[in-house]
Chain A
Amino acid sequence: MNWEESLPRLLDRAVGDAGDWDDVRRRAARVVRRARRRRLVASVAGLVVAVVVVPPALGIGNWYPRLFRTSEPQSFIVRRTTGGCRILKGRHPIVTIPCFRPVLAPTRTHPLDDFSHYGRSAPGGRRVLRIAGAASPDISAVALLTAAGRLTATTTVRDGLYARTTDLPREPIEAIVGLDASGRPVACEPASAPDCPVQRSSSSLGG
């Protein structure tokens, strides 16, 4: 068999048909659309990774919702700085970002800006998992007010910030109490806590 003669005969029909350049152009438009769609999907995926995956991986998870929600305290502290909000973990600044929260504590009328993290509600209050926040300069320490009316887990305020993750009470917590240099309760968060010792003449401090 002479295969070199057989080769052209394999594909006789392919030679004669006319081309269709308009069909090529239509297909090219589809290629461009598909490429755009792929780029869009890749961009969205990249954005999701940047917002959802990377922050927790870098240990700065949960800061994003905090920009918009203030009703669910987290363990991160946001303080107003020039041009934005500074996010700190404990006492360590992580990032400064634009933020829209109109007023940030601590102020004289709102001396505790508490971002403590609470667990599930229990009868008589919520159990605290971590305490963290910012305090005005006249507050030297904070303590937890238990549902039983006891002050415990006293934590020193340093550089206007407080944070504690260990030796926290397992009992329900009613409020965070700010203490001045002499240990006298001067503020409660929330201020409306029924047993807030600020309205009382005396209280006992625990640790």
Chain B
Amino acid sequence: MKGSGADPAMLRALYERSLCDFRRVAAAVVGSVDDGEDVVQDAFAKALARRRQYRGESSLEAWVWQIVLNEAKSQSQRRKRRWRRLEADRAGGVRPRDDERSAVRDALAQLPERERLAVFLRYFADLDYAQIAAVLDVQTGTVGASLSSGRARLGRLLVEGDGR
């Protein structure tokens, strides 16, 4: 397999085996379950279309995770721009933010990108440190540090949110 591109059958097997994990993380990054599903479909489509670019330097799963995360980040940017336009259109409009889920979502959104992605991959996709390191292209130790500081920051943000 090394250097010969990704096998479509293996991509399909990965899709069927880990679809839920991919969707959870994509939805978390994008902030919408529907958009997350769309992101995963697009990401796998890109992986399938560009399967010859897979050089076997990392595991196939890590390669696909990178594509999913990149796609999710692009989609997230587009969503943010859309939101900004919408909110500008309805001046003074307020999104409901009073439940526990919204509080966690808001806190997650405030994490630095690497910490946020590490948290998503750890808690939504159940990847171990080595897998996260391969996906984010960082050292395993960096994953531990990112998760640790992400957890601490998240805790602080939620405590502050409760205090308000």
Contact = CB atoms under 8 A, between A and B. Distances in A.
B155 interface: yes
Given A19-B19, A23-B41, A31-B46, A1 B27 contact: no
Interface residues of A, number: 28
B15 A21 contact: yes
Contacts, number: 81
Interface string B21-50: 001100110000100110011101110111
A10 B124 CA distance: 10
Contacts of B124: 7-8, 11
A15 B20 contact: yes
Interface string A9-49: 11101111101110111111111100100000000000000
Contacts of A26: 45
Nearest to A17: B37
A6 interface: yes
Contacts of A32: 49
Contact of B103 (A1, A17, A23, A35): A1
Contact of A14 (B24, B104, B155): B24
Helix, strand, loop or mixed for chain B's interface? helix
Nearest to A31: B49
B103 A30 contact: no
A30 B48 CA distance: 11
Interface of B: 12, 15-16, 19-20, 23-24, 27-28, 33, 36-37, 40-42, 44-46, 48-50, 100-101, 103-105, 107, 119, 123-124, 154-155, 158, 162
